[in-house]
Chains A and B, each alone.
Chain A
Amino acid sequence: MPDTDVIVEMRHITKRFPGIVANDDISLQIRQGEIFAFAGENGAGKSTLMSILFGMYQPDEGEILIRGRQVDISSPNEAVALGISMVHQHFKLVHNYTVAENIVLGIEPATRLLGLIPYVNMRPVNKVIRELSERYGLEVDPSAVIEDLPVSTQQRVEILKMLYREAEILIFDEPTAMLTPQEITYLLDIIRKLRDDGKTIILITHKLEEIKQVADRCAILNHGKLIATMDVATSSTRDMASKMVGREVIFEIDKELARPGEVVLDVQGLTIENEHHVDVTQDVSFKIHAGEIFAIAGVAGSGQVELADAIAGLSAVKTGKILLEDCDITHTLVRPRTLKGISYIPEDRQDVGLILDFLLEDNLASKAYFRAPFSRRSILQRNAFDSYADDLIRRYDIRCSSGALTMTRSMSGGNQQKAIVAREVEQDAQLMIFVQPTRGLDIGAILSIRRRMIEERDKGRAILLVSLELDEIMAVADTIGVMFAGRMIKIAPADQMTLDEVGEYMMGVKQS
Chain B
Amino acid sequence: MSGRDPRWDVGPDALKKISEPGGKCDDPVAPPSQDPPNPAPSAPDDGAVQVQLNWFLRAFGNERWQFITIPLLSILVSLIAISIIVGVMGSNPINVFITFLQGAGWIMKPVYAGGFGMLSDLSNTLAAFTPMLFAALAVTIAFRGGLFNIGISGQMLISGFLASVIVGYSGLSSFVAKPLVLLIGIVTGAAIGALIGFLKYRFNINEVVASIMLNYILQYAVSYFINTRYLDQISRQSRVVSPASTLVLSGIYNSKTHQLMVSNSLPSVLKLGDIQFLVPICFVLAIVLAIALQFFLKKTRLGYEIKAVGANRRGAHYSGIRVKRTILVTMMLSGALAGLAGVSYYLGYFNSIQPDTLTSLGFDSIATALLGAAHPIGNIASSFLITTLDTGGTYMQSMMGVRQEIAQLVTGLILLFSACSAFFRWRIAISRQKAEMRAYEAAEHDVDTDLVASSQGGDAA
Partner of A56, one of B2, B3, B29, B298: B29
Residues of chain B lying within 8 A (CB to CB) of residue A18: 31-32, 41-42, 433-434, 436-437, 440, 460
B95 lies within 8 A of chain A by Cβ: no
A20→B31 contact, CB < 8 A:
yes
A385 to chain B, nearest CB (A): 10
| A378 B319 Cβ-Cβ under 8 A | no
B-side contacts of A260, CB under 8 Å: none
Beta-carbon contact of A358 and B34 below 8 Å:
no
Is A409's CB within 8 Å of the partner chain B? yes
Q: Is A294 an interface residue (CB 8 A)?
A: no
Q: Among A114-122, A187-195, A264-272, A331-339, which stretch is in contact with chain B?
A: A331-339
Contact B299 A412 (CB under 8 A): no
B301-343 CB contacts (< 8 Å) to partner A: 301-304, 307-308, 311-312, 314-322
- Against A, the Cβ 8 Å flags (1 = close, 0 = not) of B284-308 are 0000000000000011111110011
User: How long is the Cα–Cα vector from A450 to B320 in the complex, in angstroms?
Assistant: 26
Given A333-B320, A367-B319, A356 and B304 touching (CB < 8 A)? no
Within 8 A of A (CB), among B1-35: 2-3, 13, 16-17, 20, 23-26, 28-29, 31-35
A382 partner residues in chain B, CB cutoff 8 A: 299
Residues of A within 8 A of B300 (CB): 378-380
Of residues 333 through 384 on chain A, the ones whose CB sits less than 8 Å from some CB of chain B are 333-335, 338, 344, 346, 348-358, 362, 366-367, 369-370, 375, 378-380, 382
The CA-CA distance from A378 to B25 in the complex, in Å, is 34
Is A19 within 8 A of B41, CB to CB?
yes
Our pick among B39, B436, B459 for the contact of A58 (Cβ within 8 Å) is: B459
Interface residues on B, range: 35 or more
Q: How far is A127 from B319 in the complex, measured between Cα atoms in Å?
A: 51
Known: A399-B35, A412-B32. A19 touches B42 (CB 8 A): yes
Closest chain-B Cβ to A469's Cβ sits at a distance in Å of 15
Which residue, B311, B312, B317, B321, has most C-beta atoms of chain A within 10 A? B312
The answer, yes or no, to whether B357 is at the interface (CB within 8 Å) is no
Determine the distance from Cα of A413 to Cα of B314 in the docked complex, in whole angstroms: 18
A17 at the interface (CB under 8 A from B): yes
Known A43-B34, A370-B301; contact A344-B318, beta-carbon cutoff 8 A: yes
Instruction: Name the residue on A nearest B299 (C-beta).
Output: A380
Kindly name the residue among A51, A173, A350 whose own CB sees the greatest number of chain B CB atoms within 10 A.
A350
Are A380's CB and B43's CB within 8 A? no
Q: Which chain A residues numbered 296 to 354 have a C-beta less than 8 Å away from chain B?
A: 312, 314, 333-335, 338, 344, 346, 348-354
* Residue pair A17, B42 in contact (C-beta under 8 Å): no
Nearest to B15 among chain A residues (CB) is A357
In the complex with contacts A18-B440, A56-B29, A442-B34, A333-B322 CB distance below 8 A: yes
Given contacts A18-B440, A19-B42, A358-B308, contact A314 B37 (CB under 8 A): no
Partner of A355, one of B37, B303, B311: B311
A100 to chain B, nearest CB (A): 23
A and B contact pairs by CB, cutoff 8 A, 13 listed: A16-B460, A17-B437, A20-B37, A333-B320, A355-B308, A355-B316, A358-B307, A358-B308, A380-B298, A380-B301, A380-B303, A401-B42, A414-B25
Given contacts A19-B32, A19-B41, A352-B314, 17 further A-B contacts (CB under 8 A): A16-B455, A17-B460, A19-B36, A19-B42, A20-B34, A42-B28, A57-B458, A60-B455, A333-B320, A334-B318, A350-B26, A369-B304, A375-B301, A378-B301, A378-B302, A379-B299, A380-B299
Residue ranges of B at the interface with A (Cβ–Cβ < 8 Å): 2-3, 13, 16-17, 20, 23-26, 28-29, 31-43, 298-304, 307-308, 311-312, 314-322, 433-434, 436-437, 440-441, 451, 454-455, 457-461
